[in-house]
Chains A and B, each alone.
Chain A
Amino acid sequence: MKFGILINEGPFTHQASDTAYHFTKAALEKGHDVPRVFFYYDGVNNANKLSEPQADDRNLVKLWGDLAAEKNVDLVVCVAAGMRRGIKDENLADGFRISGLGQLVEAGMGCDRLMMFGD
Chain B
Amino acid sequence: MAEYEFDTEGVKKTFTFMNRKAPYGTVYALEVLETVLISAAFEQHANIVFADDGVYQLKAGHDTADIGMKNFSPTFGIIEMEKEDADEDEDIDMNWRIIVEKESMEARGLTEDDFKVDVEVIAAAELADIIDASDCVIGG
Contact = CB atoms under 8 A, between A and B. Distances in A.
Contacts of A80: 34
B140 A8 contact: yes
Contacts of A72: 2
B135 A81 contact: no
A81 B31 contact: yes
B140 A41 contact: yes
Contacts, number: 75
A20 to B, nearest CB: 14
Interface in A90-112: 95-97, 100-102, 104-111
A72 B8 CA distance: 20
Chain A residues touching B, range: 20 to 34
Given A68-B2, A97-B1, A101-B38, A106 B140 contact: no
Question: Quick one: which of B13, B31, B44, B135 has the most chain A CB within 10 A?
Answer: B31
Interface residues of B, number: 26
Nearest to A4: B136
B35 interface: yes
24 contacts: A8-B139, A41-B27, A41-B28, A41-B31, A68-B2, A72-B2, A74-B2, A74-B3, A95-B1, A102-B41, A104-B38, A104-B138, A105-B35, A105-B38, A105-B42, A105-B44, A106-B42, A107-B6, A108-B15, A108-B136, A109-B13, A114-B135, A116-B138, A118-B139
